[in-house]
Structure formats: structure tokens, C-alpha cells
Chains A and B, each alone.
Chain A
Amino acid sequence: KNQVEQSPQSLIILEGKNCTLQCNYTVSPFSNLRWYKQDTGRGPVSLTIMTFSENTKSNGRYTATLDADTKQSSLHITASQLSDSASYICVVSARGGGNKLTFGTGTQLKVEL
């Protein structure tokens, strides 16, 4: 069964600090891995997408890494801002079958003053 697990479940950090979120997956055959940011009551918004051959990708203060051998990914947020408070969801797509996405349950990040 395709699964995506994320840790920690929730995280509170002070504004300006860095943090790293983790994702492990068992999706096969692997196509790509995405990190989404979801604000409360809104739809997810894509931050990064990585295929098998990509092991790091940045989007501003967000940097994602992928180790396809160990099936692990991380999302590093640098110099956090209050607006980073959201749920961060790791999503893995399998090849074929309409590229259905398997979602993790997300890490709820809260950035405080």
C-alpha cells in the first residue's frame, strides 16, 4: 500500500529561526515528490516538485531534498516568518494511473514572535 509519513506532526518555532520537516514514503513506482503549503481553510499550494533524478530544489526560503534510495525527503525553511504558519504536506506521485497523489497527513507549523 502506498503511504507517506511525515514528522513531526506539529512544530512551534520563533520567528527568524530555521526548521526541517521530514517525509518518508513507500510509493511505487515513484514518479515525483512534492511539498505543498496549505493555509487553514485553503487549498494546497505547491512549493517544490522533484523527480527521481533531482536530490535538491529550492524555492526562496524553502529547500527540499530527496533521497530516492532511502525514500526520504526533507523540507528546510530558512529564516521563518509569521506567514510560514501553515500545514506542510509531503505528496508522492506514482507513475501511471493518472498520476494520483498520495498525501501525508502534514506537519502543522506555527511561527511565533
Chain B
Amino acid sequence: DTGVSQDPRHKITKRGQNVTFRCDPISEHNRLYWYRQTLGQGPEFLTYFQNEAQLEKSRLLSDRFSAERPKGSFSTLEIQRTEQGDSAMYLCASSSVAGNSYNEQFFGPGTRLTVL
């Protein structure tokens, strides 16, 4: 257990429905990252926050995706009008910038999304 938690662990939804995932980072970490991982591939960067500010979004993050980190603690990732191609593992990671030259990212267990 890395200290990063994600909820739910699994989500099955029908195409066209909206889904929301939550990530709780390690409490003192100011950076939070979202990644998407499809079967047999490494994770791909989606977006990251420093405190409550969303500093970068990947081109993978279409208009149907939105992420928030309203108080600089937990974060949510919402997917609207889900498509079958959204089926993947969604991973969250957190890191602390201060005093850490490695900026090591600690990953949560992921949320497995299946869109039927």
C-alpha cells in the first residue's frame, strides 16, 4: 500500500453514461497525476495538478474528460458520454516537490473502467 487510494476499484458502465473517479493522494503531496493504461501498454499521462491548479493536460484528454482538485487534496476525474474506447485502467499518482530531487511518484491501485 503506497498511501494513495482510488475509488472505485472497478466500474462497469453502459456507453453514453457519465462516470466519476476519485483519488486521495498522500496527504503532504502537492502534485497529483492522472494516467490511463490499456491492456499490455504502459500508463499514458493525462493531466497533473500542483496543489489545486491544473498545470497540464495531455491531448489524450478529450473534451469529454474533466479533472478537478478543488482544495488541493483529493481529485476527481469525470468522463462524460463514455465510449467503449474509454475502457482502461485509470491510475492516480502523487508526489512532493519540496526536498525530493527524484520527485518520486507513488501510484494508487487504479480504477478499472469497462464500458459496455
Contact = CB atoms under 8 A, between A and B. Distances in A.
Contacts, number: 62
Chain B interface bracket (under 10, 10 to 19, 20 to 34, 35 or more): 20 to 34
A42 B103 contact: no
Given A45-B2, A49-B102, A100 B56 contact: yes
Contact of B101 (A43, A51, A103, A105): A51
A43 B103 contact: no
Q: How large is the interface on A (under 10, 10 to 19, 20 to 34, 35 or more residues)?
A: 20 to 34
Interface in A38-69: 41-46, 49, 51
B107 interface: yes
A99 B2 CA distance: 19
B22 interface: no
A43 B56 contact: no
A100 B45 contact: yes
A43 B42 contact: no
A89 interface: yes
Q: Which 7 A-B pairs have the closest CB atoms?
A: A103-B42, A43-B107, A99-B103, A49-B102, A43-B109, A44-B107, A43-B110
Interface of B: 2, 4, 31, 33, 40-45, 48, 50, 55-56, 89, 91, 93, 95, 101-110, 112
7 contacts: A46-B104, A49-B102, A98-B31, A100-B45, A101-B105, A104-B42, A105-B42
